[in-house]
Amino acid sequence: MKVALASDHAGFKYKELAKEYLQQLGHEVVDYGTNSEERADYPDFAHRASEGILKGEAERGVFVCGSGIGISIAANRHKGVRAVNAVTEEMAQLSREHNNANVLAMGERLVDWDTAKKIIDRFFATEFEGGRHEGRVEKIDNC
């Protein structure tokens, strides 16, 4: 699967770790930046990566900032992007099963790397259930 990566300076380390980890799992990554720990604004990179997903350059994304909050809000401004700021494996799983989330946002300051890897694993291992959830997801994308 092609995965879009994005971060600001506060999420740069985890973005780089996620890149390596996702490649080890067999995914192809498309890195939309940032490319250092120098101060950078998360909306710039969330917007680039979200547009990449919407253009078909990637199927899903992993976006990281300090808390995961700002970058997920910026991503969710794009119709067709459903970003979840997951801090537990269960949140990642439910976001896929019930909401067909296509972007996993994380906060480098809020979860340790071992937990982050487990959240990534669950997000990519879980499929959308469809069924009763399908109409709800359509309503999200139709507003």
pLDDT tens per residue across span 97-132: 999 999 999 999 999 999 999 999 999 999 999 999
For the chain, the domain total comes to: 1
Residue 143 has pLDDT above 80, yes or no: no
The domain that contains 123 carries what CATH number? 3.40.1400.10
Higher pLDDT, 140 or 116: 116
Q: Mind telling me the catalytic residues?
A: 65, 98
Average pLDDT over residues 13-39: 98
Residue 113 confidence (pLDDT): 98
Transcribe 69-135 into DSSP letters.
Answer: HHHHHHHTTSTT--EEE-SSHHHHHHHHHHH---EEEEETTTS-HHHHHHHHHHHHHPPP--THHHH
Query: What is the span of the domain harbouring residue 119?
Result: 2-141
